[in-house]
Structure 1
Amino acid sequence: MEELLENASLLARVGGWEVDLERNIHSWSQVTREIHELDEHHISDLTESINYYREDFRDMVRNKVSQTIELGTQFDFEAVIVTAKGNEKWVRAIGEAEQVQGKTVRIFGSIQDIHDNKIMEERLRGVSDNVPGVIFQYTIKPEGTDELSYVSKGSELIWGLSPEECMNDSSKIWSQVAGGGDMQALQRSIQFSAETLEKWNFEWRVLSLDGQIRWHHGMGIPSRKPDGTVIWDSLVMDVTERKKLENLLEQSSRMAKIGSWEIDARMTPYFLEWNATTAAILETDLGGVSLEEAIQVYPKEFQKNRPRSHAFTPGEGCII
């Protein structure tokens, strides 16, 4: 068992340490020495141990250790050390006190090399913070409560709120959705994704903090935990400018009386769908009809030379 624990410690890069305050004895495990890039015979006292931390972390570490000795409190922090060979390395340090009659006689704990994970975390944060939107995890629990976590800095651009504000109180976001008027439709889209575990993809309006109506586009991949909790890895972007261009194009089409149509080649018989301008030209409330029915709109003399259905190449077009 002892060998198993030692191997696990080596794999996890977790070392142990101990300071006997009454006898002034300092002990470091093999992994702790390796993290600090020291030889196996080196012994560091408490002052030297603290001085391995980079200067901008040193006061914080010194205060944490002092509180543990004086008050018996635990500490758990992440900081950068400068090893004996001059290399900077991120570590996580955990410590606690052993007290006898209210006096601390020993402090002990662990130190873990988290450098690779920390560097990867910072790189991912750099990527997420530069995405033109906000990245986050959205959670709905079985009892119906929801929360946001791992919110990127894009929240300031999308919602005008800091990541901390979003995670502490999601109602600030929902109030913007309510002001946009699409609350129920958005909630239905999320509920459908939760029930089917299909990708969430929806667009809705919000009333931003500056009083403007803006359009947001959200996407998310859901997963369900054994207890029924559903979690989405999500991205929300502001698509207001795109929506403005779409509306402008639609208005221009109506003014020019240019309608568009589309045929889905995957469906047989072919079904022709059109936009609102085409419907207005044809004076119909229908959103589309079969290709054969659509051809009947034209006078018979124009139908004579129409191609047979099997020779027709589906696609898109316009009607004026």
Structure 2
Amino acid sequence: MNENERLRRLHELRVLDTAPEALFDALVQAAAAITGMPMSLLSLMDQHRQWFKANHGLPGVSSTPREVAFCHHVVTDSRSVEVHDARTDPRFASNPMVTGEPGIRAYAGFPIRTSNGATVGSLCVLGPVPGTLTDGQREALARLAQAASLALESRLELMEQRDRAEHEAAEARRLATTSQALEAELRERQQFLQRTGKLSRVGGWELDLVTHALRWSEQTCAIHEVPADYVPPLDEALSFYPPGARLVIQKAVERCLAEGEPWDLELPLVTARGRRIWVRTVGARETKAGRPVRLAGAIQDVTDRRRALEALQASERRFRQLFEYSLSLICTHDLEGVLLSVNPAAANSLGYAVHQMLGRSLTEFMPARRRAGFADYLQRIATQGMDAGVMELEAADGGQRYWRYQNLREDSTEGPYVLGSAQDITEEHRYQRLLVEWSTRDPLTKAFNRRYLEQLEQWVVDGRRWGCVVLDLDHFKAINDSFGHARGDEILIATATLLGDCCRDEDAVVRLGGDEFLLVVSDPLRLPALSTDIQAEAAQRGIGVSTGWAKAEPREPVAVVVARADEVLYAQRLERRAPK
């Protein structure tokens, strides 16, 4: 694919220079977490620049010139590029991103390809120290790049669906307005005829029942596309109507003559020039001295209104088909959140029949912990006219479902309502959580690994109270040497289980490495008793341990608090092992 075609496909995605979006931010954060590199970008390669749809680790930077972009090589070669140390790579050694800030050394980029094969950018990770990815990390990044490609095209598809829906709605409103205007015009003409006591010559006609002479007004002649002085015989006047319509109006005339019943009909008509139109014709009987003397009425070309109604009906049919058969999850609800309509795809996503959801509030399908935030969502819809994000719902089987939605407020004659369109991203959400768990959990003990300390630093920034207990296994090397690593692994797992049994839901067990563990405690007042309980429980389970604890002071770095706990541990171990 040549460069012009690639750029055309990139611009068709309608994503350049748009605001950050949570999904793409999550992808680069996952990439950084998987590789341990501090910087990760979702880069899209324009003609003269690379622009970042998502940026983790390079605050304040939204784009760079294409000539200094590492990702340029990924796009040009349409394959992944990995650099162990940029200083030794001739392609990048003099790059200002290497010689200056941010001092890039390690780089790995994976192509983002659209469904038609255009490489529009890359998902990359960067680091300030030389490094090489593992095979597992490469596979994970390649999958994340594929997820980014799918997300970009799904985003475009949703925007196009919304544009089409808005266009059809606007056209339907325009045609409905035309229809209402024509109806009002006809009513005004009827009222005028009633006020004057005789028929208007504009679009009027009358039939003398004594002489059988038929007269048409100038406008009636214009509707039939005949000369203004045309004087048609009755049979010829009826012949402008197709056979089926002719039979209808003949019967209406007969009833009017016999019973005095007026008529008001809409019928097809073929003009003298062969043009097919629709007319509204009204007629009534006039009497004199108790005897019928004439029929009089009016006629109007209502073709535009009929076409407007037919277009509106066609639009409604198309919308209904889209609503019923779309794979997207579509629903409408009022400004209180009560569901007005739900398409089968949305109902199936939650395991309900459509009728089981109608008339119920969306909050009934939410976990209890999410319901408080629903009022904020309704407020944003009411004030901003739209809202977008991810909504967590509860299916009929009790399972969690995650919908990425983009909802708009619409106004109708029946009152305002919210039109919602969503995608079920439950599997994507589960996969993202799994990726994060893989990157933050110790595979042996299932405890958190050292990356958890990054979250703990946020506790410090937020001013939260906390403390910690550090734990070392006694004589662990001797156990490994004497009984083998399998036995050592069993003791490590048992130690993590012991700590988990001693902690609360808001606490966390962290394996720092080797035989070192850290128990993060949210209530520092529990520390002395907790340290004692851990030693007693370990002794009861036959595990030799040493512990130390420390309470964090306000704004005290995590490393300092852990070091203080280590000092206590070593002091107690020396005291315990000192000769008596």
TM-score (norm 2): 0.29
| Higher RCO structure, 1 or 2 (CA under 8 Å, sep 6+) | 1
* Structure with greater proportional strand content: 1
| Larger Rg computed on CA atoms | 2
